[in-house]
A = this chain, B = another copy of it.
């Protein structure tokens, strides 16, 4: 049991101390600083608690049962949270976490009839409840038929579009939302359980105020729609919003209002906060020191003639996501977003080396660039560095395990992929 407010360094799990044995790891590989991860989890739990909302963490980033254990580790404050509600991005995730007994699983990508049987097979009556999301009336009958064939009732949330980012029914189409909710309620094998929204546009937030405003917008979208549905006699037990930026930078709201108890947001979804990444640090949702995953890499070449170092982490180990290129955003210290291209290069203790970044990423070569002359002798061929990821979800997906330093040895935490 850890205290949710705990920030102290636990030397037996931290990668920032000197006695970690890096030599036994094969590079490139993914390392996870579990101490930083636990701190990130504690911060998000505290935020959800301060809002009076349930946290339904998104497993799309970690895809790892061991990380799941930490997300639901009992703390002083949550002893009664014995129902593990999670969000997933693939049915494969639902299969794995459902198989591990997670009680409440929301598949947060628009469901289609063909996927109902597999999704519902992840549920177990009275034990594991699976839910899906929907924004399309035309497939309601087919969904109901598919759910009936699976012998159960499928729990559905209607997706609301609060910012034109991706999926969902726009808040200005209230009539469509009500009609869809009614159609679901009238279907034999479907159950309407509420609404959800995702403020994806917050990822383009230029400053913290813009992201806080996106969070307000997300919250108001939920409240307005839930109020309207209630006016039409339709209750929304689940009212879910989420994205790591709006979760972390959203303003603390007044949770005492009686009205909001029935229509206000009551659930928070977020995923990348568990590991954080350079993109998030550029939005100011964290500092670079909060980034829990890095790619361990070996120096494999010196281009002294080009002031360039080659490492064995390329596009395959880092991903080709270079989302900080052209990113708007304001960092936690108020400075503007930095372009790290394919990753920020750190020493083994996790401290950045100058302004080194992976400027280009070929399949198995990372080309490290520096604005000042590289001290090649300090980084001989065969020495190692750690690269902070641009986008933790994509970089983690390139690997099949996290390497976690615990009790003075490396533990391998398996992760999975696929659909």
Which residues in A have some Cβ–Cβ distance to B below 8 Å?
A: 26-29, 60, 89-90, 109-114, 118, 135-136, 138-139, 142, 164, 166-167, 170, 200, 298-303, 305-306, 310, 312, 315-317, 319-323, 362-365, 367, 380-382, 391, 393-394, 397-400, 417-419
Contact = CB atoms under 8 A, between A and B. Distances in A.
Nearest to A303: B167
A114 B382 contact: yes
Contacts of A164: 306
A200 B362 contact: yes
Contacts of A362: 166, 200
B316 A397 contact: yes
A397 B319 CA distance: 10
Contacts of A170: 305
Contacts of A111: 300
B397 A418 contact: no
A363 B60 contact: yes
Contacts of A393: 316, 363
A136 B302 contact: yes
A301 B365 contact: no
Nearest to A382: B112
Contacts of A135: 301
A177 to B, nearest CB: 14
Given A26-B118, A110-B310, A112-B298, A382 B142 contact: yes
